[in-house]
Amino acid sequence: MMRRLQRILNYGILIAGVSMVVPVIAQPDTFKTLTLDNKTSSGMMMGSTGGTTSLPAVVSNSDRSERKCLGFGDPNPDHTIVLKQPVAKLTIRVDSGGSDTTLLISGPGGVRCTDSGASKDAKLQDKDFQPGTYQVWVGTIAPNTNRDYRLTVRASN
């Protein structure tokens, strides 16, 4: 659904057989990039899973805590999180309505990953995030599984 909406925004709308071109509305940066600083400590981004690429092959087979990375998705990151200052604890949560999702985050300090476990929707909560740019992949356990999701990010010090 998310991809269909994007195509409509990019190319126009077809209503009752009449094609009408509408101006392209630029996506806000927070659709793909979220910047957290001393004024903003949380945010939300939307996306859609899908793909046949093994995310561990793109990012890493295991993370800095030796947890196994899992999932299939797009070879390019789905989102970027920019931290302007150190963050003591960062929570990143996928809400896909209960689909079997995974998260892989690559940035300063290495790779961090988690799968959904019993709860299905993946959640990563970790400490000691340094300032910098973090690439985020949202994947699914099975390849070519398309699910719309909301990604929430919350920093706490």
Q: What's the confidence (pLDDT) of residue 33? A: 95
Residue 23 included in any domain: no
**What is the arithmetic mean of pLDDT over 109-137?**
92
Residue 9 included in any domain: no
Residue 6 included in any domain: no
Residue 119 included in any domain: yes
Q: Poorest-confidence range of 9-23, 73-87, 96-110?
A: 9-23
Residue 99 included in any domain: yes
pLDDT above 90 (res 157) = no
Residue 127 included in any domain: yes
Q: What's the confidence (pLDDT) of residue 13? A: 37
- Residue 88: count other Cβ atoms within 10 Å of its Cβ: 10
More confident residue, 119 or 18: 119
Cα separation, 126 vs 115, in Å, equals 14
Q: What's the confidence (pLDDT) of residue 131? A: 98
Q: What's the confidence (pLDDT) of residue 31? A: 53
Enclosing domain of residue 42: 28-156
Residue 82 included in any domain: yes
> Which CATH number do you get for residue 146?
2.60.120.380
**Confidence (pTM):** 0.79
- Evaluate whether 87 touches 36 at the Cβ level (below 8 Å): yes
Q: What's the confidence (pLDDT) of residue 8? A: 39
Q: How many domains would you assign to the chain?
A: 1
27-75 tens-digit pLDDT: 443 358 999 998 999 999 999 998 999 999 999 999 999 999 999 999 9
Residue 10 included in any domain: no
